[in-house]
Structure 1
Amino acid sequence: MQAHHVRISTFIHATEDEDKVLEALSTFIPGEIDDEDVNFEVVSTEGYFGNPIKVVTAEIKRSKAVRAFLKHLKSLLTEDDVDYILEHLDEKVDEDGTLYIRFDKQKAYLGEAEVAEGEDVIKVMVKVKAFPMRKESVVKAVEEWLAG
Structure 2
Amino acid sequence: MEVLPEKLPVAFLEVRALSHATEDEEKVYQALKNVVTGSLLEESPASRRKLEGHYGNPITLLTLKVRSKPQIKRILANIFSGLSARDRGKLLAELENRIDGEGNLYLRFDKQEACLGRLKLGASDPIRVRIKLSIPARQRSRLVEACREMVEEFKGGKD
Separation (CA, whole Å) in 2 of partners of 1:50 and 1:137: 44
Q: In structure 2, give the amino acid aligned to 1:114.
A: K
- What's 1:122 paired with? 127
- What's 1:145 paired with? 150
Query: CA separation of 1:42/1:32 partners in 2, compared to 1, >3 Å: closer, same or farther?
Result: closer
- What's 1:91 paired with? 97
> Structure 1 stretches (4+) deviating beyond 4 angstroms?
none
Q: Alpha-carbon deviation of 1:39?
A: 5.0
- What's 1:12 paired with? 19
Separation (CA, whole Å) in 2 of partners of 1:34 and 1:45: 22
Question: CA contact under 8 A between 2:109 and 2:126: conserved in structure 1?
Answer: yes
Corresponding position: 1:3 with 2:1? no
Give the % identical residues: 30
- C-alpha RMSD of the superposition: 1.8
- What's 2:29 paired with? 22
Separation (CA, whole Å) in 2 of partners of 1:80 and 1:28: 18
Name the one with the larger strand percent: 1
Question: CA contact under 8 A between 1:14 and 1:53: conserved in structure 2?
Answer: yes
- What's 1:44 paired with? 50
Question: CA contact under 8 A between 1:39 and 1:59: conserved in structure 2?
Answer: no
Equivalence map 1:69-80=2 (5 Å): 69-80=75-86
Q: Alpha-carbon deviation of 1:31?
A: 4.7
Query: CA separation of 1:35/1:135 partners in 2, compared to 1, >3 Å: closer, same or farther?
Result: farther
Separation (CA, whole Å) in 2 of partners of 1:71 and 1:59: 17
Q: Alpha-carbon deviation of 1:124?
A: 0.8
Q: In structure 2, give the amino acid aligned to 1:103.
A: F
Separation (CA, whole Å) in 2 of partners of 1:39 and 1:137: 33
Match of 2:139 among 134, 137, 146: 134
- What's 2:66 paired with? 60
Q: In structure 2, give the amino acid aligned to 1:55.
A: L
Q: In structure 1, give the amino acid aligned to 2:68.
A: R
Q: Alpha-carbon deviation of 1:5?
A: 1.1
Question: CA contact under 8 A between 1:5 and 1:126: conserved in structure 2?
Answer: yes
Structure 1 unaligned spans of 5+: none
Separation (CA, whole Å) in 2 of partners of 1:135 and 1:45: 35
Q: Alpha-carbon deviation of 1:131?
A: 5.7
Question: CA contact under 8 A between 1:32 and 1:68: conserved in structure 2?
Answer: no
Separation (CA, whole Å) in 2 of partners of 1:95 and 1:102: 18
